[in-house]
Chains A and B, each alone.
Chain A
Amino acid sequence: MNTPFNLDEHRRNRPRPTLAPPPERYFEQLPMRVMQRVQPTPAAASGWGWLAALTAPMRTALASAVVLGSFAAAFWLTPATPLTALGSDALARVPQEQLLSYLLTTDQRITLTDLAEVPGTAHATPASTYWQASPDELRDLLDEQPTDEGYL
C-alpha cells in the first residue's frame, strides 16, 4: 500500500515550483522589450497608426463606409446628360444626305415644307441634291419632251 502523501509535510519550493529558470538575463531585458511594444512605431506615428488601434469590426465598417461614400460621390459629381441632348447629338452626326434618303425612301409622308425646316436644306431641293444636273442640262431635257398643245 502506498504511503499517504501529505502536502503540509512536503518541502515547499516558494515562491515558485521547481521549474527551469528563464534564460540568463531574461529579467534584465524584459522591461526593454515591453517598452518597445508600448511605444508608438514610426508607421503608427505617420498618421495611419490610428487605423491599427481600431478593432477589426470597426475597420470593416469604416472600409464599407468609404466604398459607399465613393460611389455616392461619383454619382452626385458626375454631370447629368439629358436624353434629348444625347438624341440630338447622335442625329447631328448622321450625314444630311442619309437623312434625306431615309425620309424620301420610306413612307414618312414628308413634305417639302418639312424639309425646308431641316437646317441646311433651306436652299436645297431633292432635285438639286439627287439629280446632279446643271440648269442647262435640265433645260435641254425639258425641250426634248413632247409638248401637249391642249394644255398651253
Chain B
Amino acid sequence: MEDQEILAKFRDPTTRNVAFNQLVRKYQRPVYWHVRKMVVSHDDADDLTQDVFVKVWNHLDGFRQDASLYTWIYRIATNECLSWLKSKRRKFLLPLTDVTAELSAQLEADESLAGDEIELKLQKAILTLPDKQRLVFNLRYYDEMPYEQMAEVTGTSVGALKASYHHAVKKVEAFVTAS
C-alpha cells in the first residue's frame, strides 16, 4: 500500500485501524533496526520501536507532508533514540564512557558476533562515537541514506553531515587498527 493511500485511509475513521496496521507492517523493520543499532539490546529496541509507532499514531493527523512519511517516521525514531540515551546517562549519572562500555558488553554477549573478531571490533569502534555522530554513521554506512534525506531526518546541513561522516569513518578505522 502506498503512503498516500495509507494516509487517506487513516483520515477515515472507518479504515483508520487498517491503515495504521499497514503502516506499522511497512515500516517496522527499518525502524526496529535503526533503533537497535543505537541501543544494541533487543528489549530496549522493542520498547522504543513501540514508542515510536505510538507517537506516529498520536501525531499522524498533524503530519503536513513537508517530507516523506518514511523520513518523518525516521525523524521520530531518531529523536526517541537520542532522548533515551540522554535520559539513560542522566538517570544513572553515567558518563559517556560508561554507557559505551555497557553497550559494548551487550555486543560481546551477542551470539551473532561470536567468532567474528573484526566485526566485533568494528561495532565497538562505532559505539565509541558520540551519539549524533554514531547516528550519522549508521544512516550513511548501513542504510545508505542520501545526505539530503539525512538532513531532513537530523535537521542538520548536508555539509555538516558529510564532515561528520568523514570524521566518524576516520575514528572507526583508527580504533579498529589500534585494537
Is A57 part of the contact surface with B, judged by Cβ < 8 Å? no
Q: B98 to chain A: which residues have CB within 8 Å?
A: none
Is B111 part of the contact surface with A, judged by Cβ < 8 Å? yes
Q: A34 to chain B: which residues have CB within 8 Å?
A: 24, 50, 53-54, 57
**Would you give the shortest CB distance from B100 to chain A, in whole angstroms?**
16
How far apart sit A31 and B28, CA to CA, in the bound complex (Å)? 8
Q: Provide the A19-53 mask, 1 if CB < 8 A to any CB of B, else 0.
A: 11111001100110111011100000000000000
Interface residues of B in 62-95 (CB under 8 A from A): none
Contact of B119 among A18, A21, A35 (CB under 8 A): A18
**Would you give the shortest CB distance from B39 to chain A, in whole angstroms?**
11
- Using A30-B49, A34-B50 as known contacts, say yes or no to A17 and B24 having CB atoms under 8 A apart: no
Partner-contacting stretch, out of B1-9, B147-155, B156-164, B171-179? B171-179
Pairwise interchain contact B50-A2, C-beta atoms closer than 8 A:
no
**Would you give the shortest CB distance from A12 to chain B, in whole angstroms?**
7
How far apart sit A17 and B107, CA to CA, in the bound complex (Å)? 11
Q: Chain A binding site: helix, strand, loop or mixed by DSSP?
A: loop
Q: A135 to chain B: which residues have CB within 8 Å?
A: none
User: How many B residues, CB 8 Å from partner?
Assistant: 43
| Number of A-B residue pairs at CB separation under 8 A | 93
- Using A18-B112, A20-B42, A38-B54 as known contacts, say yes or no to A10 and B123 having CB atoms under 8 A apart: no
Q: Provide the A68-108 mask, 1 if CB < 8 A to any CB of B, else 0.
A: 00000000000000000000000000000000000000000
- Using A19-B113, A35-B17 as known contacts, say yes or no to A27 and B177 having CB atoms under 8 A apart: no
Interface residues of B in 104-157 (CB under 8 A from A): 107, 110-113, 116, 118-119, 122-123, 126, 141-144
Residue on A nearest B37 in the bound complex, by CB = A17
Q: A23 to chain B: which residues have CB within 8 Å?
A: 42
Pairwise interchain contact B28-A17, C-beta atoms closer than 8 A:
no
Residue on B nearest A39 in the bound complex, by CB = B17
Interface residues of B in 18-76 (CB under 8 A from A): 20-21, 24-25, 28-30, 32-33, 36-37, 40, 42, 45-46, 49-50, 53-54, 57-58
Residue on A nearest B172 in the bound complex, by CB = A7
Is B169 part of the contact surface with A, judged by Cβ < 8 Å? yes
- Using A30-B24, A34-B54 as known contacts, say yes or no to A18 and B113 having CB atoms under 8 A apart: yes
Pairwise interchain contact B28-A12, C-beta atoms closer than 8 A:
no
Q: B119 to chain A: which residues have CB within 8 Å?
A: 13, 17-18
Residue on B nearest A1 in the bound complex, by CB = B177
How far apart sit A6 and B173, CA to CA, in the bound complex (Å)? 6
Q: Lowest 3 A-B CB distances belong to which pairs?
A: A5-B176, A31-B24, A38-B57
Interface residues of B (CB under 8 A from A): 17, 20-21, 24-25, 28-30, 32-33, 36-37, 40, 42, 45-46, 49-50, 53-54, 57-58, 107, 110-113, 116, 118-119, 122-123, 126, 141-144, 169, 172-173, 176-178
